[in-house]
Amino acid sequence: MKKSEILELIGDLEDTADIDNLILGNGFAKPITDVEGFNKLLASNKEIQGLVDSKVTNGIETFKKNGMQKLIDAAVLKATNKEETPEQKAIREMKQELDTMKKEKARAERIAKFKDTLSEKKIPGDLMEFMLGDDDETTTANIELFENSMKSYVDSQVQTKLNAGYVPGVNENTNNQTDPIIAQLNSVMGLQ
User: pLDDT tens for residues 125-152?
Assistant: 888 888 888 888 998 999 999 999 999 9
Region of 170 on the Ramachandran plot (φ > 0 left; ψ -120 to 50 alpha; else beta): beta
Q: What is the pLDDT of residues 19-56, one digit of tens each?
A: 777 666 666 666 677 888 778 877 887 887 888 888 88
Is the per-residue pLDDT at 86 higher than 50? yes
- Domain ranges within the chain, ordered by starting residue: 12-82, 103-161
Looking at residue 166, what is its pLDDT?
A: 66
Looking at residue 176, what is its pLDDT?
A: 46
How many Å separate Cα 135 from the centre of its chain?
21
Across 57-69, average pLDDT: 85
pTM of the model: 0.39
Q: What is the pLDDT of residues 70-85, one digit of tens each?
A: 888 777 777 776 667 7
